[in-house]
């Protein structure tokens, strides 16, 4: 059964009155436990598709369905709550809160979900240990390397126990050593916890690890390959 699917998904931007089809009639399904990448050249629509899957953008037409719920029909406040409880995001720019420690950044989303203190402490310790940051709990983002910050971002994305993780160019700002370390962590979480990861990337290192590649060009799926 699909955990997330789209039906004839279109996103059209008007640039100087000329319509640009960022996604063009895309219908695609992703199953629980996938480790997949949406790939293609710059401007092909991969980030737009990822944002549509996560409800961060509204399609011009078509549907996004997550666990049998059509999220494109939700009101703004309903969509915000749905994202909070069901989707984890990892961004290229980390998007950590600079004044908070690693622990507090991971814990923040659990505050919003009304986890009690003991639950928060246990989950934060579990996640930061899992991503190799057991000794960095009290470090702020400015005291961490880029690779360490992205690991905190992954832990934060997992904190709410989402149905899946959407990762937009998560390795773009990382060197090879940090990239492979991060991919090792994500792959382990995928295999041990059956956590679903969907990447948007043009990084060959990510594509090598992904077990499915969905290739876009001019907003359309031109190839869908499972290794």
- Distance from C-alpha of 164 to C-alpha of 178, rounded to nearest angstrom: 22
Beta partners for residue 65, in sequence order? 5, 70
Write the burial class of residue 19 (CB in 10 Å: 0-12 exposed, 13-18 middle, 19+ buried): exposed
**DSSP track, 137-190:** TT--GGGS-HHHHHHHHHHHHHHT--SEEEEESTTTT--HHHHHHHHHHHHHHH
pTM score over 0.85: yes
What is the DSSP pairing of strand 2-15 with strand 61-66? antiparallel
Structure tokens at 10: 């279109």
pLDDT above 90: percentage of residues in the chain: 67
149-177 pLDDT per residue, tens: 999 999 999 888 888 999 999 998 888 98
**What's the pLDDT score for residue 15?**
65
CA 105 vs CA 2, 108, 136, 158, 212: distances in Å: 31, 5, 12, 12, 31
Quote the Cα angle for 212-215-221, to 5°. Answer: 115
**What's the pLDDT score for residue 112?**
84
**What's the pLDDT score for residue 221?**
97
Length, in residues, of the chain: 227
**What's the pLDDT score for residue 66?**
95
Per CATH, the architecture of 35-44+77-226 is what? 3-Layer(aba) Sandwich (3.40)
Neighbours of 187 (CB within 10 A): 15
Q: What is the average pLDDT score of the chain?
A: 92
Instruction: Spell out, as residue ranges, where the chain has pLDDT lower than 50.
Output: none
- The ranges assigned to domains in the chain are 35-44+77-226
């Amino acid at each position: 059964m699909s955990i997330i699917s789209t039906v004839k998904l279109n996103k059209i931007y008007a640039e100087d009155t000329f319509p640009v089809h960022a996604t063009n009639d895309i219908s695609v399904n992703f199953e629980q436990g996938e480790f997949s990448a949406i790939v293609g050249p710059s401007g092909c629509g991969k980030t737009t598709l990822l944002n549509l899957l996560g409800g961060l953008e509204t399609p011009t037409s078509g549907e996004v369905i997550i666990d049998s719920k059509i999220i494109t029909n939700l009101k703004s406040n309903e969509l915000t709550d749905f994202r909070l409880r069901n989707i984890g995001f990892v961004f290229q720019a980390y998007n950590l809160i600079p004044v908070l420690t690693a622990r507090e950044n991971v814990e923040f989303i659990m505050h919003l979900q009304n986890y009690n203190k003991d639950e928060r402490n246990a989950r934060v310790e579990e996640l930061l240990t899992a991503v190799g940051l057991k000794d960095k709990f009290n470090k702020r983002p400015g005291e961490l390397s880029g690779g360490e910050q992205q690991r905190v971002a992954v832990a934060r994305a997992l904190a709410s126990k989402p149905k899946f993780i959407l990762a937009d160019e998560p390795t773009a700002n990382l060197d090879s050593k940090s990239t492979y370390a991060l991919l090792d962590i994500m792959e382990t979480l995928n295999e041990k916890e059956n956590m679903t990861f969907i990447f948007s990337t043009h990084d060959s290192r990510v594509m090598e690890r992904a077990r499915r590649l969905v290739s876009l060009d001019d907003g359309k799926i031109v190839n869908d390959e499972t290794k």
